[in-house]
């Protein structure tokens, strides 16, 4: 079969190659899935670059953390799924950028037939993270403000729609002024542009002089630092990424470390998913289905590429102003 792998960390366009490898056989508790579609996510590219701390590759390493596929073979002891079922494939060690993948049966999500393949392919990483961060980890109450940076991409848009549905007000940070009107149509209450001044000053002037009690940030660096400074004295901030690769500075202003009870914490889906009980995992899957059908955590599909066109897919994924999620289609476009 064809599989995309990399033998060292580096720029994805330089180190990702398509190789012919043996079709894997499932072991105890595992299944083999024929991959139909798999998205190119920021976490995949961070992993290739060596900036993804949660999973350490063993070279030559496969990649691709989620996707949709058809179960083709069951390993010993698997009873919860059957051959021929279409499933959302969570691959915690990477390997979905391939024609076939072997994963633990317990890492699959069964999804109703009425949901399109491109939605099932991106069923978990963004939708589950949005639901867990907003409803469970932060548990933002109705009527409160939620501040987020990088509001323009897919996950940020999901946050806006979920918050609107749950009665939460959002203040959203973007770099491009032309994004503001579009996000407001989605339901964003406030959209601020980084070029208009420090984020914390804008937030306190426009939203609340005391700051916001809840915030999420995937950028870190100076943006994350300013998000932290925008917190209320009882505020909580989740960092779920580091697009800049730079630190958040929380100790350079004593007003924000020697007064109040501001909390800065990390959110990583790879930590939360394994800690869900079976009942909680089923409920999460049902919540995603319901919200996906309602268009709340729906992914905007973009261009699709074959495995052989991985370099083009990476370039398209990282193009500024790109619209829609980029997918790999192992069987061809």
Q: For residue range 150-191, list pLDDT tens digits in order.
A: 998 889 999 999 999 999 999 999 988 888 888 999 899 999
Collapsing DSSP to helix, strand or coil, 108 comes out as strand
For residue 78, the model assigns a pLDDT of 94
User: Which residue has better confidence, 76 or 253?
Assistant: 76
Percentage, residues of the chain above pLDDT 90: 76
Collapsing DSSP to helix, strand or coil, 45 comes out as helix
Class of domain 126-270: alpha beta
For residue 178, the model assigns a pLDDT of 81
pLDDT digits (tens, 9 = 90+) for 79-116: 989 999 999 999 988 999 999 999 999 999 999 998 99
For residue 333, the model assigns a pLDDT of 57
Percentage, residues of the chain above pLDDT 70: 98
CA neighbours closer than 13 Å in the CB half-sphere of residue 328: 31
E strand or H helix that includes residue 6: strand 2-6
- Which of the four pLDDT bands, split at 50, 70 and 90, describes residue 63? very high
Superfamily of domain 2-122+299-328: Medium-chain alcohol dehydrogenases, catalytic domain (3.90.180.10)
Q: Name the residue with tokens 């955590």.
A: 297
**Domain spans in the chain, listed from the N-terminal domain onward:** 2-122+299-328, 126-270
Judge contact between 230 and 209, C-beta under 8 A.
no
Judge contact between 161 and 186, C-beta under 8 A.
yes
User: Which residue has better confidence, 274 or 19?
Assistant: 19
For residue 36, the model assigns a pLDDT of 97
The mean pLDDT of 302-309, rounded to a whole number, is 95
- In CATH terms, are 2-122+299-328 and 126-270 the same topology? no
- pLDDT exceeds cutoff 80 at 258: no
pLDDT digits (tens, 9 = 90+) for 7-55: 999 999 999 999 999 999 999 999 999 999 999 998 899 899 988 777 7
For residue 321, the model assigns a pLDDT of 67
- Rounded distance between C-alpha atoms, residue 287 and residue 292, angstroms: 8
For residue 246, the model assigns a pLDDT of 84
Q: 271 CB contacts (<8 Å, ≥6 apart)?
A: 54
Mean pLDDT of the residues in the chain? 92
C-alpha distances in angstroms, 221 versus 174, 213, 299? 15, 20, 27
- Number of residues that this document lists for the chain: 333
Model-level pTM? Answer: 0.90
The mean pLDDT of 134-152, rounded to a whole number, is 96
Burial category of 113 from C-beta neighbours within 10 Å (exposed 0-12, middle 13-18, buried 19 and up)? exposed
For residue 261, the model assigns a pLDDT of 85
For residue 244, the model assigns a pLDDT of 81
- pLDDT exceeds cutoff 60 at 5: yes
């Amino acid at each position: 079969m064809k599989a995309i792998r990399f033998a060292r960390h580096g720029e994805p366009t330089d180190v990702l190659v398509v190789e012919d490898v043996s079709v894997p056989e499932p072991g105890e508790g595992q299944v083999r899935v024929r991959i139909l579609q798999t998205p190119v996510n920021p976490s995949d590219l961070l992993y290739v670059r060596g900036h993804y701390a949660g999973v350490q590759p063993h070279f030559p390493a496969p990649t691709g953390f989620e996707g949709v596929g058809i179960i083709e073979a069951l390993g010993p002891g698997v009873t919860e799924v059957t051959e021929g079922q279409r499933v959302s494939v969570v691959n915690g060690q990477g390997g979905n950028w391939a024609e076939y993948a072997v994963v633990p049966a317990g890492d699959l999500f069964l999804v109703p037939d009425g949901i399109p393949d491109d939605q099932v392919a991106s069923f978990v990483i963004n939708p589950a993270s949005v639901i867990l961060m907003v409803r469970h980890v932060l548990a933002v109450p109705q009527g409160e403000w939620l501040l987020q940076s990088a509001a323009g991409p897919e996950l940020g848009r999901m946050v806006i729609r979920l918050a609107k549905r749950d009665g939460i007000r959002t203040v959203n940070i973007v770099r491009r002024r032309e994004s503001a009107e579009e996000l407001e149509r989605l339901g964003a209450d406030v959209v601020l542009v980084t070029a208009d001044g420090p984020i914390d000053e804008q937030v306190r002037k426009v939203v609340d002089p005391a700051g916001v009690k809840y915030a999420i940030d995937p950028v870190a660096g100076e943006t994350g630092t300013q998000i932290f400074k925008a917190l209320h004295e009882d505020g909580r901030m989740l960092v779920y990424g580091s697009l800049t690769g730079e630190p958040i500075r929380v100790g350079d202003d004593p007003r924000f470390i020697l007064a109040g009870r501001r909390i800065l914490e990390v959110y990583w889906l790879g930590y939360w998913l394994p800690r869900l009980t079976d009942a909680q995992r089923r409920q999460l899957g049902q919540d995603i289905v319901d919200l996906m059908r309602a268009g709340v955590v729906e992914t905007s599909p973009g261009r699709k590429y074959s495995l052989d066109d991985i370099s083009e897919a990476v370039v398209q994924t990282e193009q500024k102003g790109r619209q829609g999620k980029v997918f790999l289609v192992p069987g061809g476009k």
